[in-house]
Amino acid sequence: MNGNESRYDIFICGGSDHFGMLEELLPKLRPFGRVHLASIFLTDDEIERLGPYYDLLHKPQHHSDGYKNFELFCIRDINRIATRPHFIKLDADVRLRHDWIDYVNQGIDNHREAVLFGTHRGQSNVTFELSGPLVRRKCGREIRIVEGLKVRGGFYVGKTAFFKQHDELMQTLHELLYCFRDGVRVKPSAKPDLWPEAEERKYGPVRMRAGGNQSWESSSEDVLRSFVVHVAGAGDCLRVVDSGGSIWVP
C-alpha cells in the first residue's frame, strides 16, 4: 500500500448511462486510494467489467430516482463509510489529467486547516435560516447562514474526522431541509425513531427561509455539505483551489 492509498477513500457513483465514463475514470482512481463505487442502476455485467478498478461496491436504495439516490448516498452514507484521513468525492462526468492526485496532495499540504476544499465555487452561496422550538430542540440553537461559501460538488476533498464528528448535525439539517416544506413535514424520515410525531406536533412548525438560488426542493449534497461546515463554525475552513486544468468539472 502506498502513501496515497492510506490517505484517501474515493467515492464515485454511476448508472448504465455513465458506464463509459466510469470505465475511463476508475483506472485513474484505483492507484491512489480505496475506491468506492456506488452502483446507481448499473447492470451485473457492467459491475463485473468494472470489478478490477474498484475496492468496494455499494448499492444504495434510498430513492427510485437515480439522481436522488446518488444525492442521498452522498449525504447519508459517505461520512459513515469513510475511514481514511480524507475522502474524495467526484462525479462520473469529471475528467482527470494524469497529475490529478498532485492537486489533492498539494491542496491538503498547502491548506492544512481546510475541512472541505474543491475545484470550483458554487454558482450561488449558501443562505438558509431555520428557527423555531423544534430547530432549537434538534440543533441546540436557531440557524442563520447568509452568503456562506459553497464548494461545488463535482469534485471535492473532505476531512473525514470533521464530517464524522458532525454527522449527526448533517443528518439533522438534511432532515429539516429535505423533509419539511412551509414549516411542516412533507416526506417521511429516514430515521423515524429520532423524529417522533408527538415531538414534531409539540414543537413545530419550523420557520424556514432560503435565500438566493437555494431551493427547498433540492436534496443537493454539496449545498448541504457546505452548509454543515458553516453551521459547525468552520466556514473559514472552506477552500476553493484552482486545479490548473488537472481536473475538469463540467
Look at the chain and report how many structural domains it folds into: 2
Judge if 145 and 209 occupy the same domain: yes
Residue 109 in any domain: the answer is no
Given the DSSP bridges, would you call strands 247-248 and 184-185 parallel, antiparallel or unpaired? unpaired
Q: What number is the average pLDDT over the span 164-174?
A: 97
**Starting from the edge strand earliest in sequence, which strands make up the sheet with 56-58, in order?**
56-58, 34-39, 8-14, 86-90, 155-159, 116-118, 238-240
Which structural domain, as residue segments, surrounds residue 197?
126-238
Strand partners of residue 89: 11, 156
pLDDT-based confidence at residue 182 (cuts at 50, 70, 90): confident
Per-residue pLDDT for 218 more than 70? no
Q: What number is the average pLDDT over the span 100-111?
A: 97
Judge if 87 and 130 occupy the same domain: no
* Mean pLDDT over the full length of the chain: 93
CATH value at residue 62: 3.40.50
Residue 249 in any domain: the answer is no
pLDDT-based confidence at residue 210 (cuts at 50, 70, 90): confident
Residue 101 in any domain: the answer is no
Judge if 86 and 145 occupy the same domain: no
DSSP output for 140-204 = SS-EEEEEE--B-TTEEEEEHHHHHHTHHHHHHHHHHHHHEETTEE-S--SSGGGS-HHHHHHH-
Q: What number is the average pLDDT over the span 185-201?
A: 95
Judge if 228 and 137 occupy the same domain: yes
Strand partners of residue 185: 180
What was the pLDDT predicted at 65? 86
Residue 89 grid coordinates: 468525492
What was the pLDDT predicted at 66? 83
Give percent of the chain above pLDDT 90. 84
Judge if 74 and 133 occupy the same domain: no
Q: What number is the average pLDDT over the span 138-159?
A: 96
* Cis upstream peptide for 205 (omega within 30°): yes
Domain limit, last residue, from 93, 111, 138:
93
What was the pLDDT predicted at 212? 65
Judge if 209 and 140 occupy the same domain: yes
Judge if 70 and 151 occupy the same domain: no
Q: Work out the number of other CB atoms within 10 angstroms of the CB of residue 107.
A: 20
Q: What is the DSSP secondary structure assignment for residue 33, as one 8-state letter?
A: S
What was the pLDDT predicted at 5? 62
C-alpha 92/C-alpha 50 separation (Å) is 13
Q: What is the pTM of this model?
A: 0.93
What was the pLDDT predicted at 46? 96
Nearest alpha carbon to residue 220 among 75, 40, 39:
75
Per-residue pLDDT for 173 more than 80? yes
Cα separation of the two ends of the chain:
32
pLDDT tens-digit series, residues 10-62: 999 988 999 999 999 999 999 999 999 999 889 999 999 999 999 999 999 99
C-alpha 35/C-alpha 57 separation (Å) is 9
Residue 103 in any domain: the answer is no
